[in-house]
Amino acid sequence: MIAFILKRLGMVIPTFIGITLLTFSLIHMIPGDPITVMAGERGVSAERRAELEALLGLDKPLYEQYFVYISNIAQGDFGKSLITREPVLDEFLTLFPATMELSLFAALFAIGLGLPLGIIAAVRRGSIFDHTVMSISLAGYSMPIFWWGLLLIILFSVTLGWTPVSGRISALYWVDTVTGFMLIDAWMSTEQGAFTSAVQHLILPSIVLGTIPLAVVARMTRSSMLEVLGEDFIRTARAKGLSPLRVIMKHALRNALIPVVTVIGLQVGILLSGAILTETIFAWPGIGRWLLESIHRRDYQVVQGGILIVATMIILINLLVDVLYGVINPRIRHSN
Amino acid sequence: MNKTLKLFMGAALATAISATAGAKTLVYCSEGSPEGFNPAFYTSGTTFDATSRQIFNRLVEFKPGTTELAPALAESWNISADGLVYTFKLRKGVSFHANKSFAPSRNFNADDVLFSFDRQRVKDHPFHTVSGGSYEYWDGMGMSDSVKSVKKIDDYTVEITLTAPNAPFIANLGMDFASIFSAEFANKMMAAGTPEKVDSMPVGTGPFSFVDYQKDSQIRYAAFDKYWAGRAKLDRLVFSITPDASVRYAKMKAGECHVMPYPAPADLAAMGKDKDINLMTQEGLNVGYLAFNTQKAPFDNKLVRQALSYAIDKQAILDAVFQGSGKIAKNPIPPTIWSYNDDVKDYGYNPAKAKELLAQAGLSAGFSTNVWAMPVQRPYNPNAKRMAELIQADWAKVGVTAEVVSYEWGEYLARSKNGEHDTVLLGWTGDNGDPDNFLYVLLSCDAVGGGNRAQFCNADFDSLLKDAQKTTDVAKRTDLYKKAQVVFKEEAPWVTIAHSVVYQPLSKNVVGYKIDPFGGHAFYGVDLK
pLDDT in tens, B323-349: 878 899 999 999 989 999 999 999 999
Q: What is the mean predicted confidence (pLDDT) over B13-29? A: 66
Residue B5's pLDDT band, with cuts at 50, 70 and 90, is very low
Query: H-helix or E-strand containing B502?
Result: strand B494-507
Q: What is the mean predicted confidence (pLDDT) over B488-512? A: 95
Residue B20 reports pLDDT greater than 60: no
Query: H-helix or E-strand containing A316?
Result: helix A300-328
H helices of B255-383, in order, are 268-273, 302-310, 314-317, 351-360
Tell which wins on pLDDT, B414 or A117. Answer: A117
* Least-confidence region, from A325-329, B373-377, B428-432: A325-329
What pLDDT, on a 0 to 100 scale, did the predictor assign at position A159?
92
Q: At what angle do helices B302-310 and B474-491 cross, to 10 degrees?
A: 90
What pLDDT, on a 0 to 100 scale, did the predictor assign at position B373?
96
What are the beta bridge partners of residue B425? B290
Residue B71's pLDDT band, with cuts at 50, 70 and 90, is very high
Q: What is the mean predicted confidence (pLDDT) over A291-307? A: 88
CA–CA distance, A123 with A116 (Å, rounded to integer) = 10
Average pLDDT value over all residues in chain A: 87
What pLDDT, on a 0 to 100 scale, did the predictor assign at position B162?
96
H helices of B260-399, in order, are 268-273, 302-310, 314-317, 351-360, 384-396
CA–CA distance, A307 with B156 (Å, rounded to integer) = 52
CA–CA distance, A163 with A156 (Å, rounded to integer) = 6
pLDDT tens for each residue of B274-296: 999 999 998 889 999 999 999 99
Q: Which residues of B touch A33 (CB under 8 A)?
A: 410
Query: H-helix or E-strand containing B287?
Result: strand B286-292
Contacts of A14 (CB under 8 A, 6+ apart): none
For chain B, say whether A41 makes contact (Cβ under 8 Å): yes
Across the interface, whether the CB atoms of B214 and A200 are under 8 A apart is answered: no
Across the interface, whether the CB atoms of A31 and B410 are under 8 A apart is answered: yes
- Show the beta-strand stretches assigned E in B35-190: 60-62, 69-71, 74-79, 85-90, 147-154, 157-162
Residue A276 reports pLDDT greater than 60: yes
For chain B, say whether A53 makes contact (Cβ under 8 Å): no
CB-nearest partner of A42 from B9, B15, B43: B43
The secondary structure of A111-162 as a DSSP string is HHHHHHHHHHHHHTTTSHHHHHHHHHHHHHHT--HHHHHHHHIIIIIIIS--
**Inter-chain CB pairs, A–B, below 8 Å:** 156
Across the interface, whether the CB atoms of B451 and A43 are under 8 A apart is answered: yes
Highest mean pLDDT among B12-16, B19-23, B388-392, B443-447: B388-392
Q: What is the mean predicted confidence (pLDDT) over B50-77? A: 94
CA–CA distance, B130 with B193 (Å, rounded to integer) = 11
Q: Which chain B residue shows the shortest CA-CA distance from A53?
A: B134
Across the interface, whether the CB atoms of B27 and A171 are under 8 A apart is answered: yes
Mark B20-36 as b/e (b = at least 16 C-beta within 10 Å).
beeeebbbbbbbbbbbb
Across the interface, whether the CB atoms of B33 and A293 are under 8 A apart is answered: yes
What pLDDT, on a 0 to 100 scale, did the predictor assign at position B355?
96
Coil, strand, or helix at residue B239? strand
Contacts of A95 (CB under 8 A, 6+ apart): A285, A286, A287, A290, B215, B216
What pLDDT, on a 0 to 100 scale, did the predictor assign at position A192?
86
Q: Choose the mutation target among A85, A150, A156, A159 for the interface with B, i.e. most B CBs under 10 Å.
A: A85
pLDDT tens for each residue of B461-492: 999 999 999 998 889 999 999 999 999 999 99
Residue B217 reports pLDDT greater than 50: yes
* Least-confidence region, from A20-24, B224-228, B292-296, B474-478: A20-24
CA–CA distance, A241 with A254 (Å, rounded to integer) = 19
For chain B, say whether A90 makes contact (Cβ under 8 Å): no
Residue A334's pLDDT band, with cuts at 50, 70 and 90, is low
pLDDT tens for each residue of B162-198: 999 999 999 999 999 999 999 999 999 999 999 999 9
- Closest Cα partner for B309 from B286, B328, B323, B325? B328
Residue A335's pLDDT band, with cuts at 50, 70 and 90, is low
- Counting Cβ atoms within 10 Å, is residue A254 exposed (0-12), middle (13-18) or buried (19+)? exposed
Residue A5 reports pLDDT greater than 80: no
* Least-confidence region, from A62-76, B209-223, B494-508: A62-76
pLDDT tens for each residue of A112-155: 999 999 999 999 999 999 999 999 999 988 888 889 999 999 99
Across the interface, whether the CB atoms of B244 and A283 are under 8 A apart is answered: yes
- Closest Cα partner for A133 from A122, A143, A146? A122
Across the interface, whether the CB atoms of A31 and B417 are under 8 A apart is answered: no
Q: Choose the mutation target among A28, A30, A42 for the interface with B, i.e. most B CBs under 10 Å.
A: A42
Query: H-helix or E-strand containing B510?
Result: strand B510-511
- Closest Cα partner for B426 from B438, B436, B434? B438
Residue A327 reports pLDDT greater than 70: yes
Residue B259 reports pLDDT greater than 90: yes
What is the share, in percent, of chain B residues with pLDDT greater than 90? 76
CB-nearest partner of B218 from A31, A171, A196: A171
Q: Which residues of B touch A193 (CB under 8 A)?
A: 12, 15-16, 19
What are the beta bridge partners of residue B71? B60
Q: Which residues of A touch B450 (CB under 8 A)?
A: 43, 45
Number of C-beta neighbours around residue A159 at 10 A: 11
CA–CA distance, B393 with B355 (Å, rounded to integer) = 15
What pLDDT, on a 0 to 100 scale, did the predictor assign at position B11?
44
CB-nearest partner of A193 from B15, B139, B196: B15
What pLDDT, on a 0 to 100 scale, did the predictor assign at position B19?
43
Q: Which residues of A touch B136 (CB under 8 A)?
A: 38-39, 44
Q: Which residues of A touch B418 (CB under 8 A)?
A: none
What is the share, in percent, of chain A residues with pLDDT greater than 90? 38
CA–CA distance, B76 with B59 (Å, rounded to integer) = 9
What pLDDT, on a 0 to 100 scale, did the predictor assign at position A332?
64
For residue B273, the one-letter residue type is: K
Q: What is the mean predicted confidence (pLDDT) over B258-265? A: 91
For chain B, say whether A157 makes contact (Cβ under 8 Å): yes
What pLDDT, on a 0 to 100 scale, did the predictor assign at position A261?
83
Residue B1's pLDDT band, with cuts at 50, 70 and 90, is very low
pLDDT tens for each residue of B93-137: 999 999 999 999 999 999 999 999 999 999 999 999 898 778 888
Tell which wins on pLDDT, A323 or A17. Answer: A17
Q: Which chain B residue shows the shortest CA-CA distance from A158?
A: B254
Coil, strand, or helix at residue A209? helix
Q: Which chain B residue shows the shortest CA-CA distance from A57?
A: B132
pLDDT tens for each residue of B28-47: 999 999 989 999 998 888 99
Residue B4 reports pLDDT greater than 60: no
What pLDDT, on a 0 to 100 scale, did the predictor assign at position B7?
45
What is the share, in percent, of chain B residues with pLDDT greater than 70? 96
Coil, strand, or helix at residue B192? coil
Average pLDDT value over all residues in chain B: 91
| pTM score, whole prediction | 0.86
What pLDDT, on a 0 to 100 scale, did the predictor assign at position B409?
80
Q: At what angle do helices A194-229 and A88-123 cross, to 10 degrees?
A: 50
Is the distance from CB of A158 to CB of B252 less than 8 angstroms?
no
Across the interface, whether the CB atoms of A285 and B214 are under 8 A apart is answered: yes
